[in-house]
């Protein structure tokens, strides 16, 4: 048993289908951005990038004068200092002109920072990168020395003050009896002052040592060398990036358009839009053939084609609808919009049913833009409009032809000023009742549903309504609205037909191959022509 397609697979299939349908949009975007990227890359001046690496050294001193190890904050601070105006000012002074900008980047989780300089000159790039590294070392050294000297001044002042305090206490001790209570109190004060003096002296010593050990904030680990190839532009990379951007934008445009485009793409989409209407048939796309402005019936002119076989399959579906009816079956052919193929379907269906030996009356009920009379090559001065207005009778207007045995056409007649009123009149009911008695099947080619009310008026009189949709042309919302309008008047909507299917399904291929092994020997359909495959 077939398994149901999961939502992710269905969505992916929908996306792929949208991209395939609009492949030219994707291709144009791809080519456009490749050209733009290529043009940009080949017109931009060459630039060179040189790099120098410096390892940062901690210059953090504790209150006791000891060096504290670097942390992540210190490294981030070093990166900021390397790109600061203080450092660039030193480089500008060395160069004699404004320094090019520098980029500082941490190397992994190490304390190494890479300084990158880009310039139109490879030599200048390397020179500036090395100057930036040296300027960082110089600036951090000056800053650290200044900070340490400030601390030393404070500590040395404390040392002088404490030493004077110790000297004063010792002088006072020499003036009192060693065993007196005053001597004991002075000894306690002396001990405290001497201890504090010792701490300050130790801090001064440690600072002097640290000043020598970490005189700078880093040292150069890798000096910059003159680059041998430009860092930009990179034509191949630019083309690759341009192509990827073009593809991404093209796919984005396609998916956006597809999101707002609800045209019928397949039988499932037609079923969903029509609320589950049965699919009576699929007709493959066939191009315009024959002389220009000549109307041909493919069911008659090319009876061995796949399209003709599709109309024979549709005939079977329509005949099943009317098997239980007494007398003629009034079958209305309509569509949501213009150019959905309803007239072509009505004509080919009528010809195919007539070829089976049934008497068929084909009514051109499109009183606004009639087309059916052109297939017969007759004038359209009289017809349905003149019958309904009381100017003619059925016998006056019916058209038959040796080319289409068993088929009678009622042309639309001259375009009247009030088509809807004529189609809703009692005359229309009388005509249809008359045709029930003399024909086996009556095919009514009506106007589309959405532009005018004519189709809805006729649907109330028909025994069966067939809705035509054109693949990749008819919007799903129009199908849904048409079904809603027809159901609102209790029309007997029996099914739908999908026109212009690009690839006919496997069952039609099999039926076509099976049937084409025989020769049609109906009096008007006998042919010895080779099979013609339509597009």
What are 328's two structure tokens? Answer: 């003629």
Q: Alpha-carbon distance 368 to 346, whole Å?
A: 17
Residue 16 — left, alpha, or beta (φ > 0 → left; ψ -120 to 50 → alpha)?
Answer: alpha
* Pair type for strands 360-364 and 441-445: parallel
Contacting residues for 31 by C-beta, under 8 A, at least 6 apart: 246
Q: Alpha-carbon distance 177 to 183, whole Å?
A: 7
pLDDT at position 514, please? 42
pLDDT at position 287, please? 63
Is residue 522 pLDDT above 50, yes or no? no
Angle between helices 23-43 and 235-260 (to 10 degrees): 150
Contacting residues for 517 by C-beta, under 8 A, at least 6 apart: none
Mean pLDDT of 295-317: 81
Task: Provide the 10 A C-beta neighbour count for residue 497.
Answer: 28
**Predicted confidence band of residue 6 (pLDDT cuts 50, 70, 90):** low
Q: Alpha-carbon distance 410 to 397, whole Å?
A: 6
What are 463's two structure tokens? Answer: 């025994």
Name the least confident of 162-176, 265-279, 343-357: 162-176
> Do 213 and 123 touch, CB atoms closer than 8 A?
no
Q: Alpha-carbon distance 250 to 173, whole Å?
A: 96
Bridge partners (DSSP) listed for residue 493:
465
Omega into 233 within 30° of 0, i.e. cis?
yes
CA angle 40, 42, 48 (to 5 degrees): 95
| pTM, full prediction | 0.59
Return the closest-CA partner of residue 90 out of 82, 111, 146: 82
CA angle 113, 116, 118 (to 5 degrees): 175
Angle between helices 72-82 and 122-173 (to 10 degrees): 120
Q: Alpha-carbon distance 314 to 443, whole Å?
A: 13
pLDDT at position 262, please? 83
Query: pLDDT tens, 226-260?
Result: 999 888 888 888 889 888 999 999 888 888 887 77
What are 143's two structure tokens? Answer: 């800053």
pLDDT at position 64, please? 64
Is residue 457 pLDDT above 90, yes or no? yes
**Predicted confidence band of residue 10 (pLDDT cuts 50, 70, 90):** low
pLDDT at position 524, please? 33
**Predicted confidence band of residue 289 (pLDDT cuts 50, 70, 90):** very low
Q: Alpha-carbon distance 432 to 426, whole Å?
A: 10
Is residue 407 pLDDT above 90, yes or no? yes
> Do 315 and 352 touch, CB atoms closer than 8 A?
yes
Name the least confident of 116-125, 265-274, 441-450: 265-274
Work out the end-to-end distance of the chain between its first and last CA atoms, rounded to an integer number of angstroms.
33
pLDDT at position 426, please? 92
The long-range contacts involving 373-381, CB below 8 angstroms and separated by at least 24 positions, are 373/399, 373/409, 373/411, 373/412, 374/295, 375/295, 375/296, 375/297, 375/347, 376/401, 376/404, 376/409, 376/411, 377/295, 378/409, 378/411, 380/411, 380/412, 380/413, 380/414, 381/413, 381/414
Q: Alpha-carbon distance 468 to 450, whole Å?
A: 13
The strand ranges marked E within 291-369 are 329-334, 360-364
More confident site: 522 or 107? 107
> Do 409 and 399 touch, CB atoms closer than 8 A?
yes
Query: pLDDT tens, 31-74?
Result: 998 898 888 777 888 899 999 999 988 777 666 666 778 888 88
Residue 113 — left, alpha, or beta (φ > 0 → left; ψ -120 to 50 → alpha)?
Answer: beta
Please write down the HEC assignment for all residues of 370-421: CCHHHHHCCCCCCEHHHHHCCCCCHHHHCEEECCEEEEEEECECCCCCCHHH
More confident site: 66 or 2? 66
Contacting residues for 203 by C-beta, under 8 A, at least 6 apart: 63, 64, 65, 155
> Do 281 and 310 touch, CB atoms closer than 8 A?
yes
What are 483's two structure tokens? Answer: 């079904």
pLDDT at position 178, please? 79
- Average pLDDT of the chain, as a whole number: 83
Which of the listed ranges 113-127, 147-161, 297-311 does the model predict with the highest average pLDDT? 113-127
85, burial (CB in 10 Å: exposed 0-12, middle 13-18, buried 19+): exposed
Query: pLDDT tens, 140-157?
Result: 888 877 777 788 788 888
pLDDT at position 290, please? 42
Mean pLDDT of 127-131: 94
Give the whole-number percent of the chain exceeding pLDDT 90: 40
Return the closest-CA partner of residue 502 out of 28, 27, 24, 17: 17
> Do 275 and 482 touch, CB atoms closer than 8 A?
no
Side-chain half-sphere of 447: how many Cα atoms within 13 Å?
A: 20
Please write down the HEC assignment for all residues of 131-196: HHHHHHHHHHHHHHHHHHHHHHHHHHHHHHHHHHHHHHHHHHHCCCCCCCHHHHHHHHHHHHHHHH
**Predicted confidence band of residue 465 (pLDDT cuts 50, 70, 90):** very high
pLDDT at position 295, please? 64
Is residue 292 pLDDT above 50, yes or no? no
């Amino acid at each position: 048993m077939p398994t149901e397609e999961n939502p992710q697979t269905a969505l992916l299939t929908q996306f792929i289908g949208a991209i395939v349908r609009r492949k030219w949009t994707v291709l144009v975007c791809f080519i456009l951005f490749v050209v733009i990227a290529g043009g940009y890359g080949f017109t931009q001046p060459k630039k060179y990038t040189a790099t120098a690496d410096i390892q940062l050294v901690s210059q953090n001193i504790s209150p006791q004068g000891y060096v504290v190890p670097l942390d992540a904050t210190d490294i981030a601070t070093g990166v900021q200092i390397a790109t600061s105006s203080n450092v660039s000012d030193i480089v500008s002074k060395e160069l004699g002109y404004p320094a090019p900008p520098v980029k500082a980047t941490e190397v992994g989780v190490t304390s190494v920072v890479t300084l990158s300089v880009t310039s139109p000159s490879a030599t200048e790039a390397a020179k500036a990168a090395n100057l930036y590294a040296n300027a960082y070392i110089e600036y951090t050294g000056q800053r650290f020395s200044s900070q340490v000297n400030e601390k030393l001044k404070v500590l040395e002042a404390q040392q002088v003050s404490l030493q004077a305090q110790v000297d004063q206490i010792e002088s006072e001790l020499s003036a009192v009896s060693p065993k007196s209570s005053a001597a004991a109190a002075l000894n306690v004060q002396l001990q405290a002052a001497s201890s504090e003096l010792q701490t300050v002296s130790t801090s001064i010593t440690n600072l002097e040592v640290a000043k020598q050990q970490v005189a700078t904030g880093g040292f150069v680990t890798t000096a910059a060398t003159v680059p041998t190839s430009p860092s930009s532009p990179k034509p191949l990379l630019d083309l690759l990036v341009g192509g990827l951007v073009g593809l991404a934008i093209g796919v984005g445009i396609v998916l956006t358009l597809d999101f707002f485009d609800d045209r019928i793409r397949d039988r499932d989409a037609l079923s969903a839009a029509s609320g589950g209407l049965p699919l009576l048939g699929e007709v493959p796309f066939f191009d315009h053939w024959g002389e220009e402005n000549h109307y041909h019936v493919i069911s008659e002119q090319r009876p061995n084609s796949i399209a003709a076989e599709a109309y024979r399959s549709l005939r079977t579906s329509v005949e099943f609808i009317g098997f239980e009816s007494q007398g003629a079956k009034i079958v209305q052919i309509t569509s949501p919009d213009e150019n959905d193929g309803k007239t072509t379907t009505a004509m080919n269906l009528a010809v195919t049913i007539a070829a089976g030996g049934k008497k068929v009356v084909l009514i051109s009920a499109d009183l606004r833009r009639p087309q059916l009379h052109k297939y017969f090559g007759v004038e359209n001065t009289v017809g349905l409009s003149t019958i309904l207005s009381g100017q003619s009778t059925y016998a006056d207007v019916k058209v038959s032809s040796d080319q289409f045995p068993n088929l009678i056409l009622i042309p639309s007649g001259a375009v009247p000023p009030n088509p809807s009123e004529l189609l809703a009149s009692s005359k229309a009911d009388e005509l249809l009742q008359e045709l029930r008695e003399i024909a086996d099947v009556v095919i009514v080619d009506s106007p589309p549903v959405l532009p005018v009310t004519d189709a809805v008026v006729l649907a109330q009189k028909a025994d069966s309504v067939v809705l035509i949709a054109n693949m990749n042309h008819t919007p799903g919302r129009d199908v849904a609205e048409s079904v809603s309008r027809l159901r609102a008047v209790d029309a007997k909507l029996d099914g739908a037909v999908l026109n212009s299917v690009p690839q006919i399904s496997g069952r039609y291929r099999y039926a076509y191959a099976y049937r084409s092994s025989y020769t049609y020997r109906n009096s008007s359909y006998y042919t010895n022509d080779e099979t013609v495959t339509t597009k």
